[in-house]
Amino acid sequence: MDFITGQLNNKQKEAVLTGDGPVLVLAGAGSGKTRVLTSRVAHLVMEKGVYPSSILAITFTNKAAREIKGRVGKMMGGDMWFPWIGTFHSMCLKMLRMYPESLGYRKGFVIYDQDDQKILVKDCLKELDLDSKLFPPKMIIHQINRSKDELIDAEKFNKENASDYKLSIAGKVYELYQKRMLENNAMDFGDLIANAVKMLRENENIRMYFQNAFKHILIDEYQDTNTAQYELAYILSEKHGNIFVVGDDDQSIYGWRGANIRNILDFEKDYPGCMVIRLEQNYRSTTNILDAANDVIKNNLGRKGKTLWSDKGTGGKINYYRAATNSMEAYYIASRIQKGIEAGRDYEDYAVLYRVNAQSRSIEQALRDKKIPYRIYGGISFYQRKEIKDVLAYLKLIQNPNDNVQLKRVINEPKRGIGKTTLTRMEEYAIDTGSSIYEVAGDIRIYPNLSKSVEKVSVFVGIIEKLRKSAAEKSVADLYDDVILYSDILKQYKLDNTIISRSRIENIKELKSAIMTKAEEQYESFGEKLTLEVFLESVTLATDADEETEGTHVSIMTLHSAKGLEFPIVFISGMEEGVFPSFQSFSEGRLEEERRLCYVGITRAMEEVYLLNTMQRTLYGRTQSYPESQFLREISPALIEHKSGGGFGRRNVGQSTRDSFGGMRITKGGKPITIAGFTAVPGEAANVKTGQRVRHKKFGDGTVTNTEGSGGDKMIEVSFDIAGTKRLMASFAKLKIVD
DNA sequence: ACGCTTCCAGTTTTT
DNA sequence: CTGGAAGCGT
């Protein structure tokens, strides 16, 4: 059908129309890979007569899954039975939910995130009487996670590392950790994949069931797959052999997280007779930008090889600016943006990228001072906030009272006078008797040394028991109300009564909206009542609580977060040896991944790129000089235009770049604002005082009733005449002082 | 048991 | 400079 392939170039068409068998699509940045993937799904269904339900399309992020779902739905008219489209984690979860017993798990197992993981690892260290100084939880967690990515279980890990003292200890922790996970009926993110593979490997019936079910498997961002995900895809595609993967080896930037670039590099070896299609036409950037990106990436040895081109015209040169300090670098960025806005650009056209989050401070400062609205991407999401996680821990505990990790989180939240000593003793008894802490808590009277805590612990058990009853009888939303009521979790926050604690209360209340929305969805999509189990799982695998795009703004984020995005104008800050590439990457063969990151950064830009660095940078409270990044030198000088204005701000600058830094304030302090979903429109808010009349764009007029904190952290409470009382962050509030 | 102080380490983070 | 964790004093 024409409308599927009508808008595709020849290579893309080839990828969409290729018949059965393994296919590798090497899709360069901006070459339309999502379009190819979605078109192929539509093509399979509408022209090849493949049952939608026998198609499995796997992505890495919920966002990508949503996007593909949306596009495929549109192509197919929307009313067709959807193919199985989801993330690796969500599809593994789906499979595991069907046969949890095959792995010794029970129905309704929960998912542990990195927080839970950390608590459990620390527990295990304590139980094994290990010093967390000598064996940092971080390192242990890393070992465990990487092992799972590589499908190495505790037993195998111990066998392989028997000769290494530290690692053999880590292996002991790993072993205990897994034991406790099973007892708690919990899986971490790594388990979801590794256990799915284990389940398929060890159970012929289950394996055959899924192998038959999925006649076509499509995988997005294949360069990011780890060994476990590779194996999963391999097993699932074994029967029909229709595996279609799309990816770009040059954009593999998550090796440190377990991604195995060999998966894409060796695809042809692993799937003999496969088709390889290269998408090299870029629809995003000017040729100068692509040439620069190509110049950089060609220095990598381990790559498939690909040269992007476009017909977007040459475009301007790559801008290079060397500033004296990081604040000056930031001010340069801000003033370029300001100039652009004056010339008719939109804030949305700009992105500022950096290697480490710590760099964002000075950039934010400069943007705020120049009153440029910005938004930080990649902050802490709603579901990762402490107060939300606490409420969720109650809900998880209600579902499984034997989950020690959740219990420890909430037994003294709010403060109930149950302290470390009591908890430690209960834990010890739990281990000795092979029961859970909750079970010990229930029988607390019979244990010695705990008499002082009987009262307090019994109160807690009473609360949970009452809530379990509620859970059996009530909807999730009503259960939520009971949790708030019986646990009295708002107590401390109400007592503190600071602006911050009040916003925490609001967040907790917001969780109820999330529950009700989910309940509605569940009813509309499946005609089912929302169960606690379904709600909890939807929450753990949900990430970026959908960003409400309020107002126009500049985007600032790490280079990693920028993957998959595009902007007309991109600034890359900190092109310094030691910052980018980071000094940690100098050892071993990790430089190539940094270079790919650089490639990713440059290829985000459609029209203009600014590469920036400084002679002196203050990072982590230390001021240092860093040499110019080697990546800069890799770009052909002919492509680069050196912007003047470097030096220590004294030099005369050309008329076209007349960036006066005279009288520049370099304000100190000002914590970074990393709350996702906030749009900064700095105004006069930083200076308001209690009692002052102010005007807000959305809320109207009001009176300032309270202020708290200072600098970038300052919170303002305003009683609006119509909208009621609101708490705003001074640095973001769109406030005007009314005379 | 808990809050306050001091000390220390500090990339990148799709799930 | 920061945030988290361990240590100390009440």
A132 touches strand C (CB under 7 A): yes
State how far the alpha carbon of A12 is from the alpha carbons of A217, A271, A729, in Å: 18, 21, 47
**Percentages of chain A per state (helix, strand, coil), in multiples of 5:** 50, 15, 35
Q: What angle do helix axes A476-487 and A499-526 make, rounded to 10 degrees? A: 160
Q: Tally helices (H) and strands (E) across chain A.
A: 29, 21
- A713 has a pLDDT exceeding 80: no
What digits encode the pLDDT tens for the residues A411-434? Answer: 998 888 898 889 888 988 998 898
Q: What is the spatial distance, in angstroms and rounded to an integer, between the CA atom of A126 and the C1' atom of B2?
A: 22
Nucleotide closest to A453 measured between CA and C1': B1
What digits encode the pLDDT tens for the residues A208-253? Answer: 999 999 999 999 999 999 999 999 999 999 999 999 999 999 999 9
Closest residue (CA to C1') to nucleotide B9 in the complex:
A620
Window A158-187, strand C contacts by Cβ < 7 Å: none
Nucleotide closest to A672 measured between CA and C1': C2
Window A619-638, strand C contacts by Cβ < 7 Å: 620-622
Q: Which residue has the higher pLDDT, A182 or A492?
A: A182
Q: A707: which strand partners?
A: A716
Q: A251 an active-site residue?
A: yes
CA separation for the pair A181, A675 (Å, rounded): 32
* Three-class SS of A200-264: HHHCHHHHHHHHHHCCEEEECCHHHCEHHHHHHHHHHHCCCCCEEEEECHHHCCCHHHCECCHHH
What digits encode the pLDDT tens for the residues A612-654? Answer: 999 999 998 889 898 999 999 999 999 999 987 544 443 333 2
What digits encode the pLDDT tens for the residues A143-180? Answer: 999 999 999 999 999 999 999 888 899 999 999 999 99
CA separation for the pair A144, A140 (Å, rounded): 6
CA separation for the pair A625, A579 (Å, rounded): 10
A262 touches strand C (CB under 7 A): no
Residue whose pair of structure tokens reads 């009971």 in the numeric block: A482
Confidence of residue A316 (pLDDT cuts 50, 70, 90): very high
Which of the residues A5, A12, A251, A359 is marked catalytic? A251
Q: What is the spatial distance, in angstroms and rounded to an integer, between the CA atom of A737 and the C1' atom of B10?
A: 40
A709 touches strand C (CB under 7 A): no
Q: A607 an active-site residue?
A: no
CA separation for the pair A13, A10 (Å, rounded): 5
CA separation for the pair A513, A477 (Å, rounded): 9
CA separation for the pair A538, A517 (Å, rounded): 12
What digits encode the pLDDT tens for the residues A355-392? Answer: 999 999 899 989 999 999 999 887 677 888 888 889 99
Q: A604 an active-site residue?
A: yes
Mean pLDDT on A123-129 = 87
Identify the pLDDT of residue A660.
26
Find the largest Cα–Cα distance for chain A: 84
Confidence of residue A468 (pLDDT cuts 50, 70, 90): very high
Nucleotides of C under 7 A from a protein CB: 1-3, 5-6
Asked whether the beta carbons of A226 and A149 are under 8 A apart, the reply is yes
Which of the residues A11, A13, A33, A35 is marked catalytic? A33
Identify the pLDDT of residue A241.
95
State how far the alpha carbon of A596 is from the alpha carbons of A590, A602, A640, A658, in Å: 10, 10, 20, 34
